[in-house]
Structure 1
Amino acid sequence: MSIYEMMVELIDLRSFSNLWYWIALAVVWSSASHWIMGIPYDLVLRARRQNPQSYSDLMDLVRINTNRIYTIVDMAGLWLLGFATFALSSLAVLAFLFWVEFAQAVFLIAFPISFVALLTLHTAEIIRRDHPEGEALFSLLARHRFFVQLIGVVALFVTAMFGMYQNLSIGPFG
């Protein structure tokens, strides 16, 4: 076996047949649904159970992360939007015009995550505008998590269907 063959076997760019891709996809979506606006959701649940220290920690993290999000948006928001749009457009062209499987795999992770980023920005705007506390804040974060999970379920379903299509149409030896 030559060094080239060994490297190709080690770094398999046929993403949809690679176990590591599916593990990474699961980690991305489980992390996205656990870390709501950078706040671990178990902290929200503990604060909701009337734990004063957890509630204080939650309020601090909400304030810190909302300010952090808006500092990033104020300083580099347009640049980030332009870069993200360029990157997603480039991935889409490579994925579905030139039919590059690695670009398809990355696009099927990055595109839905961009909706999560927009949802996070929207939730941060609501928190910045309304300053919810107590049950209103818990409800807002729970609703945010629900929509992140909904986006994740749809993304996982589409990715699984597309991945199965790719694996069945290409065959086992590509």
Structure 2
Amino acid sequence: MTLYQTIFEVIDMRSFSNLWYWIAVAVVWSSASHWVLGVPFDLVLRARRNGEQALADLEDLARINVNRILYITQVSGIWIIGFNCFFMTMLFTLAIFYDFEFAQAVLLLAFPLSLVALLSVSTAQQIREDSGTGERLIKRLNRHRLYTQIIGMFSIFVTSMWGMYQNLYTGPFGG
């Protein structure tokens, strides 16, 4: 057996039947909904409950991350969009036209995350325009988290349906 065969036997490239893929999906969406614009959501809850110092910490951290996101967008936003479009097109082509399961798995994870990234830029712009502080900032972060969770739930549903279809269609031996 060659090294190439050994690697592909150990790392199952049939992603939808691989436990590690589903662990990665869970971790990615859990992290995406916990870190709202780079702010941990427990800080948002603490600011709502305790006020004062926790709210000041939330406002500072949100301001830092909003400025960081918008700076990156202004400096290299076009390049990021270009590379993202290239990457998504490549994944889409491999996934649909070449029926490459690993590309399907990555596409079903990466495309919704790119939507969350666009949502983050939009929310950051809204926070800067409103000079988001206090209760208004908390509401914006809550809304952003809700939209992220909706995208995540829809993504997990579509991914699990497609994964079950692939596992039933290809069977345990790949076709």
TM-score grouping bracket, smaller chain normalisation: over 0.9
Aligned partners of 1:88 and 1:53: how far apart in 2?
42
1:166 matched to 2:159: no
Aligned partners of 1:132 and 1:168: how far apart in 2?
49
Alignment RMSD (CA, Å): 1.1
Aligned partners of 1:151 and 1:77: how far apart in 2?
22
Same amino acid, percent of matched pairs: 57
Q: How many pairs are equivalent? A: 174
What is the deviation of 1:70?
A: 1.0
Post-superposition, which runs of at least 4 consecutive aligned residues in structure 1 deviate over 3 A?
1-5
Structure 1 gap segments, 5+ residues each: none
Aligned partners of 1:79 and 1:7: how far apart in 2?
34
Equivalent AA in structure 1 for residue 54 of structure 2? S
Q: Which residue of 2 aligns with 1:24?
A: 24
Equivalent AA in structure 2 for residue 99 of structure 1? D
Deviations 1:11-31 (A, max 9, x none): 111000000000000000000
1:127 matched to 2:112: no
Q: Which residue of 2 aligns with 1:14?
A: 14
Alignment of 1:106-121 (within 5 A): 106-121=106-121
Aligned partners of 2:3 and 2:139: how far apart in 1?
56
- 2:13 counterpart SS class: coil
Alignment of 1:83-162 (within 5 A): 83-162=83-162
Structure 2 gap segments, 5+ residues each: none
**Contact 2:59–2:134 under 8 Å retained in 1:** no
TM-score (normalizing by structure 2): 0.96
Aligned partners of 1:113 and 1:156: how far apart in 2?
12
